[in-house]
Amino acid sequence: MSRFSKTLNALALAGAMAAVVAPAVALDRYQGVGRAATAAEVKAWDIDVRPDFTGLPKGRGTVDQGIEVWEKNCASCHGAFGESNEVFTPLVGGTTVDDIKTGHVKALITGSFPQRTTLMKVATVSTLFDYIQRAMPWTAPKSLKPDEVYAVVAYLLNLAEVVPADFELSDQNIAEVQARMPNRNGMTTDHGMWPGASAAAGGIGNGGKPDTRNLACMKDCKKDVEVVSFLPAYAQDAHGNLAEQNRPVGQTRGKHTGDPSQDAAAATPSVAAAALALANEKGCMACHGVANKIVGPAYSDVAAKYKGQADAGTRLMAKIKAGGQGAWGAVPMPPQGHVKDEELKQLVQWILDGAKAQ
Amino acid sequence: MANPMRIRASAKDGVTEVRVLMSHVMETGQRKDASGALIPAHFITELTAKHNDKVVLSAQFGPSVSTNPYLAFKFKGGAKGDKVTVGWTDNKGESRADEVQIS
């Protein structure tokens, strides 16, 4: 993440916090940044309808009006009766007259209905209203007038047989409808997903206690990794050789799968790669390039100069070990006593082979 | 007595579109309950749709039709206020007919 976006995040966070606590604080702390939201701006955003019907706009709508709005805006995705399973899961279905009496949807427990429809799950009618008002129709959210939202909610409730066909839903009688919601008693907030104090203490959560208790085993741990099973050889290359299907760089490398005799073949190019890595490690690459002159000569030039000379390896090894001056110009090469003979041999062989990267 | 069907019929340019959502278990007779006993077959076998008193659609249903079947069809003719009646009979001899006015 760039520094710029971090700054933005910090500002956004500060802004969000300040908006909740007191807008004036933000203005004091961040002189010249932003301004307090006007009452009209807050009102435009403040559209939520809560379970106690705070924020519910005044209005009314009948089931019949709902049918008209439904046919125009909703039926193409949700089906004429909210039953469609084509675009979204069905909105209506799975609730019974009994559920409306008890406030618990039996099909959620018995699984007698193949899906969990919206009307099976939703516990508060305010949620239906809020969601439709804020998010529907998908292509033009917030485009429905309050009366239209009332009408659509009334139609949905009629489909679920919560209200009769001649019903008119309004801000006056929506609380009575809440008392008939099929899953009204099915919601619990007494779990860790809800913040705050427990329900008994006047909050809505359980005090932040998690639902699950995962006790990590921290004793009698095994010291050695023991491979107890592995794929049989014939199954290992079910997807071909993974090493060939992944780049040799980056975080994800392919494991060599399949015929192990190909390991040697696969390992051959890595001799050069290992030598290059060694050259990097020993500091050779600070003065020598593979194909370009830096301070000292390029390895390709060295290889060309010694090409075809049988004793080139030994002579080069000695020169590197002792250091030297004059063969390639005035800049001296310091003695490289820290490189072991074995490594030196590997490096020289690599240089004479043309100093390939792979 | 089964739950009522939901029927909607709307006329436009001389064609009436009828959409029906039936409420029926449509049990195939192949399923077994938790104790392993076969659940007896119970499905709609015949369906008739009438415009006023004239039959416009007659269909035979079978066990392959889903629970709570949805049916949509169009027929030529029909005006606002006309009656559309949809009725079904199932293999247990139960039947149900519902009527709506074309809108």
Question: Domain boundaries in chain A?
Answer: 3-45, 60-178, 268-324+334-358
The pLDDT of A26-43, averaged and rounded, is: 80
Cβ of B50 under 8 Å from any chain A Cβ? no
A300-339 pLDDT, tens digit per residue, is 888 888 888 888 888 888 888 888 887 887 778 888 877 8
Residues contacting A350, CB < 8 A, separation 6+: A271, A272, A275, A276, A279, A356
Q: How confident is the model at residue A260 (pLDDT cuts 50, 70, 90)?
A: low
Tokens (6 digits) for A153: 């909610």
Among A16, A167, A38, A180, smallest CA distance to A101 is for A180
* HSE of B80, CA atoms in CB hemisphere, 13 A: 3
pLDDT at A3 over 50: no
Residue numbers in A near B21 (CB within 8 A): 80-81, 83
Residue of B nearest to A114 (CA): B67
A60-178 and A268-324+334-358 agree in CATH topology: yes
Cβ of B67 under 8 Å from any chain A Cβ? yes
pLDDT at A15 over 70: no
A231-246 pLDDT, tens digit per residue, is 887 787 788 888 888 8
Q: How confident is the model at residue A27 (pLDDT cuts 50, 70, 90)?
A: low
Q: Percentage of residues in chain A with pLDDT exceeding 70?
A: 88
Residue of A nearest to B33 (CA): A112
The mean predicted confidence, pLDDT, of chain A is 80
ipTM rounded to 2 decimals: 0.80
d(CA A228, CA A258): 20
State in words which class domain B6-29+40-101 has: mainly beta
Among A264, A275, A269, smallest CA distance to A358 is for A269
How much is the pLDDT for A131? 94
Disruptive mutation site among B7, B12, B17, B21 for chain A (greatest number of A CBs within 10 Å) = B21
Q: How confident is the model at residue B73 (pLDDT cuts 50, 70, 90)?
A: very high
pLDDT at A144 over 70: yes
Residue numbers in A near B70 (CB within 8 A): 79, 81, 83-84
Q: Which CATH superfamily is domain A268-324+334-358 in?
A: Cytochrome c-like domain (1.10.760.10)
Cβ of A83 under 8 Å from any chain B Cβ? yes
pLDDT at A263 over 60: no
Contact across the interface for A93 and B8, Cβ inside 8 Å: no
Among A12-16, A82-86, A154-158, B10-14, where is mean pLDDT lowest? Answer: A12-16
Among A123, A131, A135, A183, smallest CA distance to A153 is for A131
Say if domain A60-178 classifies as CATH 3.30.470.20.
no
Residue numbers in B near A80 (CB within 8 A): 8, 19, 21, 72
d(CA A50, CA A123): 12
Task: Say which residue, A189 or A108, is predicted with more confidence.
Answer: A108
Contact across the interface for B6 and A159, Cβ inside 8 Å: yes
B10-67 pLDDT, tens digit per residue, is 888 889 999 999 888 899 989 888 888 999 999 999 999 999 889 999 999 999 998 8
Distance from CA of A136 to the nearest CA of B (A): 23
Distance from CA of A138 to the nearest CA of B (A): 24
Residues contacting A10, CB < 8 A, separation 6+: none
How much is the pLDDT for A129? 93
DSSP summary character for residue A305: H
Express the helix, strand and coil content of chain B in percent, nearest 5 each. 0, 55, 45
Please name the residue ranges forming H helices in A22-74: 23-29, 39-45, 63-69
d(CA A66, CA A59): 13
pTM (2 decimals)? 0.58
Cβ of B2 under 8 Å from any chain A Cβ? no
* Residue B15 β-bridge partners: B12, B76
The mean predicted confidence, pLDDT, of chain B is 89
Tokens (6 digits) for B14: 């001389």
How much is the pLDDT for A69? 92
Tokens (6 digits) for A223: 């010291």
